[in-house]
Amino acid sequence: MYSASAALHDDWGMLIPINRTPSATEMGSLLKNISKPEPETFIADNELQIYRVIQKIRSLQNWGENWDGAGAAAINQVSIASAVALIRNMYVVARQIDIEWLEPNVTASPHGEVVLEWWNNTKKLTVYVNEEQLDFIKVWGPDIDHEMEDGQVSEENTAHLLAWLEV
């Protein structure tokens, strides 16, 4: 998990703590900034993929309680901000290690988490973003004992996760 000294930042450079509940002031700033539009004119052509992903993540704030008709929780605003920060970080890491950026599927869990999923042939990487942590599951086959791995996303393993998905 990202540590307090290596905290996530939202689009405007604001720290997003993920190991504690934000104060009312921090939450107010996050909520105000989450809905702030990001002009497409400031994003280079090769960054339009990340722009689309960020817009999809932000659109989850419109999913209210019971969005699935089965009692699902509304998507947590801190989870949305953390997912945006994670996507920006993953995009930068992918460029740094010179691998192709694969656009994830963006959805939510019934627990109010942002869910990001990438597929590449038989490999699938799913990241669950909630207000406390970033969990991943890697799947490369049907055997849950030998073809799946789970853990927490951290600065130390982000490049490894992306490289695993590409190979």
3-state helix, strand, coil in the chain (%, to 5): 40, 20, 40
pLDDT at 150: 95
pLDDT at 106: 97
For residue 46 the two structure tokens come to 């090769």
Q: Delimit the domains of the chain by residue range.
A: 4-166
Range list of H helices, the chain: 24-34, 48-59, 77-96, 158-166
Q: Does this model's pTM top 0.75?
A: no
Give the other-Cβ count within 10 Å of 75's Cβ: 28
For residue 38 the two structure tokens come to 């990001």
Among 33, 16, 149, which Cα is nearest to 89's?
16
Alpha carbon distance 14, 34 (integer Å): 11
pLDDT at 70: 95
> Which neighbouring-strand residues pair with 149?
138
pLDDT at 167: 78
pLDDT at 144: 85
Segments in the chain below pLDDT 70:
1-46
